[in-house]
Structure formats: structure tokens, C-alpha cells
Structure 1
Amino acid sequence: MLLTPQSQAPRSRRRKTAAALLASAVSVCLLAASAPVVPLGVGDRLFPYLGNPGYDVTSYDLSFAYPGSNSRPLRAVTTIKARTTADLDRVNLDFAHGTVDSVDVDGEPAGFSTAGEDLVITPQEAVPDGTSMRITVRHTSDPVSAKGRESGWVRTTDGLAMANQADAAHRVFPCNDHPSDKAMFTIRVTTPKGLTAVANGLPAGVARSDGSTTWTYRTHHPMATELAQVSIGRSTVLHRTGPHGLPVRDVVPTRDRKALEPWLRKTPAQIAWMERKLGRYPFETYGMLVADASTGFELETQTLSLFERELFTESAYPEWYVESIMVHELAHQWFGDSVSPRTWSDLWLNEGYATWYEALYAEVRGGKPMRDRMKAAYGASDGWRAVGGPPAAPKAPEPGRKTGIFRHNVYEGATLVLYALREEIGSAAFDRLQRAWVGRYQDGTASTADYVRLASEISGRDLSGFFKDWLYGEKTPPMPGHPDWKPQASAKPAAPAKQGAPAPGAAR
């Protein structure tokens, strides 16, 4: 749920005089129609202008028409259903890097302008607190990155895919682009004949006419905007069955189908391995989208994780390593997708746990002991904190760099925190904590403070001091049970690899 201002007494929908609204919980004011048009945000420490106060999105309906070239803008229509949580004379959406043709609010034409990376909409009548509203924006969606700003689209050799994390969804479609406001999605993609489109969720229809095909998909669980995925290309969709009948579908370049099959068929067993540790997989389907593109990362888009083709075709990567990266993205379906971060400073919970299971799988499949990996991480941790900040207080990214907060401190550095916690409270309590976390906050959002409270509850002791030191300290605290572990005093601070990926072919 989006943190929004407390409501005032209702006003008439026809009242358009300027009036101050109550300040939001993040100290952002909603402006009356006569005030200057400005970008708003929910006050995220790392991305202060992402998200918008005053409403909670319940659903997105996205329609894209692909022109047959990944160098030309797509025609698009975005319909947003939302419920207001304050009186709104204007509605701000996050949107940049596209041309807006028209905007309707509840079927009536609305005025619009831009401010920063916001699309600011002025409906004909103000929308009172507690009202359902429907916003329809007709626009373009440009896959070509603007100067200094990365698009959320990834151009592949034969089409497109999406990589919106952390702050690029609003460069693809108008939205409330913050993970604290999750919603249901319907995604429609029209492509020329010979191309295949796949998106998050399950298929909801295919319509063919006049040399084109429209593919429709719907999610069955709420999703953050940064996790949206659309694949367009000369692709083959492969189907298999996972645990308890779970539909598993993979999307691969048709020419690589045979070469990729040995990797793809590993997924059901990996899901079963994760379920033994965490409980039932949290979504309606899962699978891998293998894209012929160079991104420098893999990405946990909900129900359909994005992977670079070269991860599976480059012989330099050992089998255990590739499998552990597959498990990293699978683990994110629980940590980050089902349980989403309430703010981007809570990212350590996503990446720390995904890296935790990556490391456990590497131990099982590759004989790489978790203890050795954590000892090495401990030695480097002070350097990571110097470069990227403590795990739960990462330094802000460079403007326009969607990968800018994905540094070592929120990967191995965060996993080190989890290792210290297990040493502190014991394996049995640690295992109960993980299951309780993904169960209590399934399909929702949660914060670092929520995790600290739950860990204290499960362990039966106040862990606030432990977490304060490990999550926010400039220096890495002593490792419980390992007094011989020492920081590398002479080590230089480690720079982030590939602008946020901790290793070649790395996971995010």
C-alpha cells in the first residue's frame, strides 16, 4: 500500500479553487490546480521523485503495438484504475521518454502537462478522497534510450524485452513507479506476423487479423511496476510442469531452443528445492526469458525472469555457477517479487536473500562452502560499505542509472548480515524466520523495520541493537562465533562490477 496523506473533509468534484491539502507522511504536499505544476514523489530516500501521493493503483491495462523495428517507438495505451486517498485537483503519474497524445479521466478528456519526469493530469472535475478513478493515457513508448537516461526496454537482436529495475518503468509506460504501490496487470501486445509476444502472468487470449497478432496476459497476483516484463521476438515458448502441477514456461530465441533445453529442464527441480526451504512457490507460473542481448545482469521480472543468452552459451562459466545464478533469480520470486521492498533502502532484503540461496546452491552443486564465501565477504565488507554505504542505507545512485544502487554492499554485504544473524540466533530460528517472512508479507510490501520486529519475535529476544550495527554501521561488526575473522585492513574498497553486478553474468 502507498503511504499517502490523511484525508480532509470531502470537497465537491466541481470545486477548483486552490486549497492546501494535508501533508503526506513523507512531507510531500499535493498542490491545488492554481499552483505551479511540479513533480511529486513518495519521499523515497534513494529516488525521491518516484511514486506519487494521493492515490493507490489497483490495476494497469497496458497495450503496446510493436511496429516491427526495435528502433522505432511503439504506439501504446495505458489505463490505470486507482482509488484516491486524498482530494485531488491534479493527478501526477511517473512518465518520461514518450509522447502523450491524449488523457481521459473517467471517460472525460483531461488536461495534461509535464514536470520533471512526471505527467501532471488536470481532470475536468476534482476527484474526492475515497473515489475510484480510471485514467487512460494514449502515448508512445520509445525503446531507444534518451541521452543520459536508460530506457526500460532492452533491445534484443530480434525484438525487445523489459528491464525496469529500479527506476525505469516510467520510461516505458505511465505509472506510479514505486514498489510500495503494487497492482494487478493486464498486458496486450500486438506484433507483426512471425513474432511472438509474452508477458508476466498467464495467457488470456490470442487474436489474429490482417497480418498481425495480439497477445494478452494477466497476472494473478499484484506486481510492482519495476517487475513488469514484455518479450517480443522470433521466440519459441516451451512448456513443462513444475511441483504440484505448476505451469513452467520458458521463452527462448527459436534458433537456440535445442542448445538451451539442458538448462531449462533444471527449473522444476530448482523450484522443488526452494519449496523445501520456504514453502509453496508464490505465483501462478514461472519460467525463464532468454534474450539475445547484452545487459550485464539477469533480472527477476515476476513469473518470467530475464537472462542473457551468453550466460548459457559461454563455455567459461562452470555448470554449478550458471545453476546458482538461475536459483538467485528464482529466489527473488519470494524475496523482492512476492514480498516487495517498501522503500528502495530495503533492497538488501531482496538481494541478500537471493544471494543467500545462490550461495547455498553453489555449496550443494559446486562444492563451494558458504563459510568460505562469507569469510571472504567479511574481509571485503568495510570496503563495500565505504563505496556503497551500509547494507540498509545504500548511497544514492547517479541520476538516470537504473542499476546505480546494485552494488556489492546489497549483495554479498547483505548476505553477510544474514549469515551473522544465523550465527547469532541459531539455524532453527533463522529457518523459521525466513518462512514466516515470506508467509506473513506474501503479495505485499515490507520494510527493514518489519524484518527486525519479526526476527526479534521469532528469536524471542530484542535484536534491534544487532541490526543497527550490522545494517547501518560504517564498519562491519565482529562476526558471531568467528572471532578470528578480520577485515582486510589493506584492501582497497571494491568497485561495483558492471555497474551493480557482482560478477560476470551476475544476478540482480
Structure 2
Amino acid sequence: MLPYLRPRPPRSRTRRIKAALLASAVSVCLIAASAPSPATPLGVGDRLFPHLGNPGYDVESYDLAFSYPGTNDKPLAAVTTIKAITSAPLDRINLDYAHGTVASVEVNGARAAFTSAGEDLVVTPAEPVPAGSWLRIVVHHTSDPVTAANQDGGWVRTKDGLAMANQADAAHLVFPCNDHPSDKAMFTIHVTAPNGYTAVANGLPEGAERTRRSTTWTYRTRHPMATELAQVSIGRSAVLHRAGPHGLPVRDVVPSKDRQTLEPWLKKTPDQIAWMEGKVGPYPFETYGLLMAEAQTGFELETQTLSLFERKLFTESTYPKWYIESIMVHELSHQWFGDSVSPRTWSDLWLNEGHATWYEALYAEEKAHKPMEARMKAAYKASDSWRAAGGPPAAPRTPKPGQKISIFRPNVYDGAALALYALRQEIGRPAFERLERTWVSVHRDGDASTADFVHLASAVAARDLSGFFKAWLYDEKTPPMPGHPDWKSEAPQARKGA
């Protein structure tokens, strides 16, 4: 994600990685399974979002079916099918889901009872499900695009339809799921809409079935995806195709009336992909492209294989061309950092945004002669204030009620990029570039933590960097910048009410 106006491991290894995070929450689930108790919201213990995600199972795939009524102010009829493997015996199954109506639930082919608890849908199957079993859950529900008073994300109503913006924890406002990036899964997405509309989703098209009144489009991902990265565009859109590096399919989704106006921007994408591949290695997915929506979101978003942008950034912006191009690269670089390699917890967000900001700045340096050092010096000057307001890069402050995206503060953008600059200063450019390539290769299609990055950086540098990272990622004050002892950070102003 980039605020507008700115600021593989194998699946088996992924399950082992998740085990530590889920251990305490699974014990709660086991207790619940041993005796009847009131339905309660559960979570996987994320520090920033305690009730996000659910223990006891690992999702393998989602099949989502949406039926668009032809207007974006009414609920969509929807069916969500989840296939998972249980990691504990379950007589109740918690799914993250809110802001919709559930008509029925089936578990392994049998009707199941259900109720709500907080923002969880709590399902009681007809028979308890033992550990190590396949689990198939089918939920018939609505998906409401009309924003609730306390809703922060989910469906975005565009001028001619809908798009999605599910970061950080809003996918469950659209469909039932295990809404945490540590549980990635494959997605198949079906969208039925009246003829005259076009639907596009993550992944590659699997075909379209047209009737006299409507068309159903189907898309399927070829790589696992976090729920927060799901994307569905419904609108009177044009889908433009071009070839990227190595024949990569590049498709862009734009308002039909704007295809010629936006083409000068869209044609830049293949070269930007090639530039990123030169820095960190092969593009990690089956396709890429830009979704340019006529909507006011306040940000751009790295939804997997189809990044979401506000149309007006390209048609009404007063920003210089080099800056807009660097924003395009910011979201593109997320396909490696944040999408292919997802954060283990939301406290690891700096790994996403710090790297995306880093490559945004590096692109501006190489293509527009905007010195990285000047940007980093300015960031250093503000760093102590950012830490005071938002926490250190790897320990961001918890979001305020009703402001879930408030974790996306400067400390996890330029503040985190500043830590990467310090790392390059500390270990040298060759080792830093080797680390970046190794990171996205080793953790491709998985999730990873700050501790994983510290461990790998230490291995690449052939020395223990834990003390270096502790200071740069967790301390309240910004440590001295290697190679720049003269850089100073201004003392933060006292916060109101402090």
C-alpha cells in the first residue's frame, strides 16, 4: 500500500512456521472442543489485530462466487467454499466474517449450525472434525458494498462498479475467510454480472460463460495468496493486453473511455518489471497489470497480480512524471515484497513497505537522478519523530478503533527504508544485493518474519547483525547512520495529551 499524497517455502514448511504463532491459540481451541461454551471470537495472536485469523486449520483453497446485481449500492449474492486441513480437533470452526448476511453453512456436505461472535462467524458442524482431516466449508451469504460506519476497507464503490481494498484486515468484510497473511491459499473467483460489465480478478482467466442477460467470468491464481490481496473489479471496463519480459502476460483494467489517455502510462509497465527483475530476480507470479479505478481510496494497493490505483493519479495529478512512475514501481515491487513473501504477522509490515519504498526511491535515483542519499538524509532527520508517533519500524503502534489502516505510518515506509539504507551502509552494496535476491527466492510463495530477515542477513554478511537490527528496528531513538556520523534526527514534539 502507498498512501496517496504520501507519505516457496513448500506448503509443509509454511505449516511448520505457523505452528509457533498458532500454538497458544490452538490450545484455546482444544479447550473449547472439550466442553460446550459460548461462541467467542478467536485469533492467531497477532499483536496488532488480536482477533484476526483463526486457529485449528490451514486453508488450502478458496472458491468465491459473486453475483453483481447491476448496481453498487446493493448486496451481492455470494457463495464461499473453503477447503482446509485441520491442525486440531474441532467441534467449532471460527471464520472471520462481518458486514453480510449468512443464509446457510455446510461442513463436509452436512448442514451446520452457525452464529456470530464479534467479527467471527462461528460454525458448529454436525460431527466434530478430527485433527489432520480435510475440511470443506460452504457458506451462502451476501457481500455488502455499502460502507458501514465503522468499516475500514473491503469493497470500494467506483463510478461504474466495484473494486476491492482489503488491507489490512478487511477481506472478511467481503467473504468468510481466515483473514491473516500467515495463512495463504489458492483462489478461484467467479463473478456474474449483467452484460455490458466486465469482471476481472486475481490470476489468469479460465473462461467466460455468457447468457442472454449476464456473463460469468472465472479467474484462478497459480500461486498462493493472502486474503488481504484479493482483488475483483466489476465495471464498464476495457482490458488491455501486452507482453512483459519473457512473454509474461500483462493486462490492465481501465475505464473504457480512458484507454487512450492512460496508454502512455500503461506501456511503461514491462520495462519496470524488467528493471525490478534486474534487482531481485524473476517476477514471481503468472501475470501483472494495473487496475485504474474511478474511486477515492486515499491510497494505491498491491493486490496480487493486479495493483489498484486511483485513476486521477494519472489523469488529474500535478505530480511530475518521475514521481508517478516511482509510485508505479512501489506497487510493483510489492509483488515480491509483501505478496510473494508475505508478512508472518502485521508487525512485520516494515518488510513490505520498507522494501517497496526502497525500490521506489532507487528507481527515482536511477531513472530521474533523484539521489537516494538526499532522501535518506531527510528521512533520518524526521526518524525520531516518526518513531515517537508510530513506534519503531518493526514494532508499530496498535491501530486506533475505527482506524485500522493507521498502522501505515511513515515509520514503516521511509523509516523502514532508512533501516535498509543503514544495512547497505553496514554490510556493503554487494552483500546487500545478494541478501535481497536470496530473501525473495528462499521465501517465495510463503510468509516470513523480521527474525527470518535478521537471520538471513547475518548469514549473508557472515557476522551477527542482531544488535544492529535491534537498534534500527526496535529502539525508540534512531541509531547513528553508518558512514554518516554527521546526520542528525530532530527531537520529536510532545504529543497532545502525553
Shorter-chain TM-score: which interval?
over 0.9
Within the candidate set 92, 96, 117, 2:94 is matched to 92
Counting only pairs closer than 5 Å after superposition, residues 13-412 of structure 1 correspond to structure 2 as: 24-26=23-25, 29-30=28-29, 31-32=32-33, 34-412=36-414
Which of the numbers 477, 480, 498 marks the counterpart of 1:478?
480
Q: How far apart are the structure 2 equivalents of 1:407 and 1:219?
A: 30
What are the Cα deviations for residues 130-157 of structure 1, in whole angstroms up to 9, with x where unaligned? 0001000000000111111224000000
- Normalising by structure 2, what TM-score? 0.94
Q: What amino acid is the match of 2:433?
A: D
TM-aligned CA distance change 1:27 to 1:206, over 3 Å: closer
8 Å Cα contact 1:386-1:474 kept in structure 2: yes
Structure 2: distance between partners of 1:103 and 1:455: 46
The CA deviation at 1:437 is: 0.1
Identity within the alignment, %: 72
Deviations along 1:136-183, one digit per CA (max 9) or x if unpaired, are: 000000011111122400000000000000010000000000000000
User: Shift in Å at residue 400 of structure 1?
Assistant: 3.5
1:291 is aligned with what amino acid? A
Counterparts of 2:417 and 2:164, CA distance in 1: 27
Partner of 1:502: none
Give the SS at the match of 2:299: coil
Decide which of 413, 416, 421 is 2:415's aligned counterpart: 413
Question: What are the superposed Cα offsets for residues 389-448 of structure 1, whole Å, 9 maximum, x if unpaired?
Answer: 000000001234341210000000000000000000000000000000000000000000
Task: Work out whether residues 151 and 172 of structure 1, in 8 Å CA contact, stay in contact via their aligned partners in 2.
Answer: no
Task: Give the total of aligned pairs.
Answer: 478
Distance 1:238 1:401 in 2: 35
Identify which of structures 1 and 2 has the higher relative contact order when contacts are C-alpha pairs closer than 8 Å and 6+ apart. 2
Q: 1:447 to 1:67 in 2, by over 3 A?
A: same
2:407 is paired with a residue whose SS is coil
Counterpart Cα distance in 2 of 1:194 and 1:293:
20
Alpha carbons 2:163, 2:233 under 8 Å: kept: yes
Stretches of structure 2 that go unaligned for 5 or more consecutive residues are 1-13
Structure 2 residue matching 1:112: 3-state secondary structure: strand
Counterpart amino acid of residue 159 in structure 1:
G
Query: Are the equivalent residues in 1 in contact too, given 2:152–2:405 (CA < 8 A)?
Result: no
Distance in 2 separating the partners of 1:28 and 1:52: 12
The one-letter code of the counterpart of 1:199 is A
Deviations 1:179-212 (A, max 9, x none): 0000000000000110000000000010011310
Unaligned runs of 5+ in 1: 7-22, 496-508
What TM-score results when the alignment is normalised by the length of structure 1?
0.92
AA matched with 2:344: R
CA gap 1:103/1:389 in 2 versus in 1, 3 angstroms: same
**CA offsets, 1:98-133, max 9 Å, x none?**
000000001110000000000000000000000001
In the aligned structure 1, how far is the partner of 2:357 from the partner of 2:140?
Answer: 40
Rate the CA distance shift 1:486–1:364 in 2: closer, same or farther, 3 A.
same
- The equivalent residue for 2:7 is none
Q: Which residue of 2 aligns with 1:18?
A: none
Q: Return the alpha-carbon distance in structure 2 between the equivalents of residues 389 and 315 of structure 1.
A: 31
Q: Deviations over 1:262-296 (max 9, x none)?
A: 00000000000000111110000000000000111
- Asked if 1 retains the 8 angstrom alpha-carbon contact of 2:396 and 2:407, the reply is yes
Query: Is the 1:28–1:40 contact (alpha carbons within 8 Å) kept by the matching residues of 2?
Result: no
Once the 2 structures are TM-superposed, how far is the Cα of residue 5 of structure 1 from its aligned partner? 6.7
In 2, Cα distance between the equivalents of 1:333 and 1:494? 36
Q: CA, structure 1 residues 271+221, in 2 after alignment: closer, same or farther (shift >3 Å)?
A: same
Mapped to 2, the partners of 1:154 and 1:202 lie a distance apart of 22
Secondary structure in 2 matching 1:93: strand
The CA distance in 2 between the partners of 1:177 and 1:287, in whole Å, is 24
Q: Is the 8 A contact 2:26 2:88 kept in 1?
A: no
| Equivalent residues of 2:153, 2:167 under 8 A apart | no
Report the secondary structure of 2:433's partner residue. Answer: helix
- State how far apart, in whole Å, the 1-side matches of 2:206 and 2:457 are: 40
User: 2:431 & 2:153 partners in 1: Cα distance?
Assistant: 42
Which of 455, 463, 466 aligns to 2:465? It is 463
Distance 1:111 1:243, change over 3 A: same
Shift of 1:368: 1.1
- Could you tell me whether the CA contact under 8 Å between 1:42 and 1:48 is conserved in 2? yes
Q: Structure 2 CA distance, aligned partners of 1:95 and 1:362?
A: 41
> Quick check: 1:54–1:87 contact (8 Å CA) kept in 2?
yes
Aligned partner letter, 1:279: G
Q: Which of the two has greater helix per residue?
A: 2
* 1:401 to 1:431, Cα distance in 2 relative to 1, 3 A: same
Task: Report the 3-state secondary structure (helix = DSSP H, G, I; strand = E; otherwise coil) of the residue aligned with 1:272.
Answer: helix
**Amino acid paired to 1:150:** D
Distance 1:462 1:485 in 2: 25
Let me know the Cα RMSD of the aligned residues: 1.5
- After superposition, the Cα gap between the structure-2 partners of 1:137 and 1:148, relative to the gap in structure 1 and judged at 3 Å, is same
Moved more, 362-371 or 218-227: 362-371
